[in-house]
Structure 1
Amino acid sequence: MKLGIIIETKEYEKAWNAFRFAVTARKKGHDVKVFLMGEAVECEGLVHETYNVDEQLKAFIGAGGEILACGTCLTSRQLESTEACPISTMIDCVALVEWADKTVTF
Structure 2
Amino acid sequence: MKLGIILETKEHEKAWNGFRLAIASLKQGHEVKIFLMGEGVEVEDITDEKFNVSEKMHEFLDDGGKILACGTCIKSRHREDSTECPISTMIDCVEMIDWSDNTVTI
Same fold (TM over 0.5): yes
Q: Structure 2 regions of 5+ residues with no counterpart?
A: none
Local SS of the residue matching 2:47: coil
Read off the aligned partner of 1:25 and give its amino acid letter. S
TM-score, normalising length: structure 1: 0.98
Read off the aligned partner of 1:85 and give its amino acid letter. C
Which residue number in structure 2 is paired with residue 81 of structure 1?
81
Spell out, residue by residue over 1:15-46, the C-alpha distance to the aligned partner (whole angstroms, 9 max, x if none). 00000100110111100000000000000131
Which residue number in structure 2 is paired with residue 10 of structure 1?
10
Q: Structure 1 regions of 5+ residues with no counterpart?
A: none
**Residues of 1 paired with 2:64 and 2:33: CA distance?**
10
Alignment RMSD: 0.6
TM-score, normalising length: structure 2: 0.98
Which residue number in structure 2 is paired with residue 63 of structure 1?
63
**Residues of 1 paired with 2:89 and 2:76: CA distance?**
14
Identity of aligned residues (%): 59
Q: How does 1:10-29 map to 2 (within 5 A)?
A: 10-29=10-29
Spell out structure 1 runs of 4+ moving beyond 2 A: none
Read off the aligned partner of 1:7 and give its amino acid letter. L
Local SS of the residue matching 2:5: strand
**Residues of 2 paired with 1:62 and 1:96: CA distance?**
20
